């Protein structure tokens, strides 16, 4: 999402490969290495809420102390737009946002963990064709269906007959 904000798109496959994503997830260190590979410079650490509510470019936040999200827009310092990999695009008000992001309070300031990114000229020079472009469809199923065509036809006919019986049976029992 951050790459898209700056005018480039990379596949999920490529991004998970450079992030060293595992079944457990990713660490902030591996995200930092990945964004460096993409051509970003980054600053990471505890950020005050006052700094977050005035950002103009997307940043990565440590959310609920267990995963990472992208804060892609702040409206009037009161509405926060989050891209959560588990939930999609979500809008939070001030209280909800603080509840999910704030991890500590020091010197009278509420703080949470954030990573701020800036693209370098290397980012804009990077080619986006290094990731495989795979189209999502059910075309791969046709190979299996073609191989067992006879059985597939029998299953489809059986389903049709069964559906017709279920449709007709209430009318027959009612008479």
pLDDT band with cut points at 50, 70 and 90 for residue 133: low
100, 157: one domain: no
CB atoms within 10 A of CB 57: 14
Could you tell me if 102 and 153 lie in one domain?
no
Say if residue 21 is in the same domain as residue 101.
yes
Same domain, 43 and 71: yes
Which residues constitute the domain of residue 152?
Answer: 139-174
Is residue 45 a part of any domain in this protein? Answer: yes
Give the residue from 75, 100, 103 showing the smallest Cα distance to 87: 100
Same domain, yes or no: 14 and 98: yes
115 and 69 in one domain?
A: yes
- Reduced to 3 states, what is the DSSP secondary structure of residue 110? strand
Structure confidence at residue 14 (pLDDT) = 83
- The answer on 117 and 170 residing in a single domain is no
Q: Which residues face 69 on adjacent strands?
A: 61
Q: What's the pLDDT tens digit per position in 66-77?
A: 889 999 989 888
What would the pLDDT profile of 62-121 be if each residue is shown by its tens digit? 988 888 999 998 988 889 999 988 888 999 998 998 898 888 887 788 888 999 999 999
86 with 149, same domain: the answer is no
Q: Does residue 95 sit in the same domain as residue 163?
A: no
Structure-model confidence comparison of residues 125 and 60, the more confident one: 60
Q: What is the DSSP string of 63-89?
A: ETTTEEEEEEEEETTTEEEEEETTTEE
SS3 54: coil
Q: What pLDDT score does 134 carry?
A: 57
Residue 76 Ramachandran class (φ > 0 left, ψ -120 to 50 alpha, else beta): left
- Domains contained in the chain, number: 2
Let me know if residue 130 belongs to a domain: no
Residue 44 and residue 75 in one domain: yes
φ, ψ at 122 (rounded to 5°): -65, -30
Whether 133 is in a domain gets the answer: no
Is 132 contained in some domain?
no
The CA distance from 61 to 101, in Å, is 7
- Asked whether residue 131 is assigned to any structural domain, the reply reads no
């Amino acid at each position: 999402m951050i790459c898209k904000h700056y005018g480039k798109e990379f596949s999920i496959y490529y991004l998970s490969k450079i992030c060293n994503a595992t079944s457990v997830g990713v660490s902030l260190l591996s995200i930092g290495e990945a964004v460096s590979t993409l051509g970003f410079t980054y600053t990471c650490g505890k950020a005050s809420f006052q700094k977050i509510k005035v950002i103009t470019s997307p940043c990565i936040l440590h959310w609920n102390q267990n995963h990472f999200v992208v804060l892609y827009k702040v409206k009037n310092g009161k509405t926060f737009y989050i891209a959560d990999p588990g939930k999609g695009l979500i809008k939070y008000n001030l209280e909800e946002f603080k509840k999910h992001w704030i991890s500590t309070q020091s010197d009278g300031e509420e703080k949470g963990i954030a990573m701020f990114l800036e693209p370098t000229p290397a980012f804009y020079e990077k080619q986006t064709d290094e990731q495989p472009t795979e189209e999502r469809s059910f075309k791969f199923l046709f190979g299996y269906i073609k191989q067992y065509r006879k059985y597939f036809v029998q299953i489809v006919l059986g389903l049709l007959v069964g559906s017709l019986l279920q449709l007709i049976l209430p009318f027959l029992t009612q008479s």
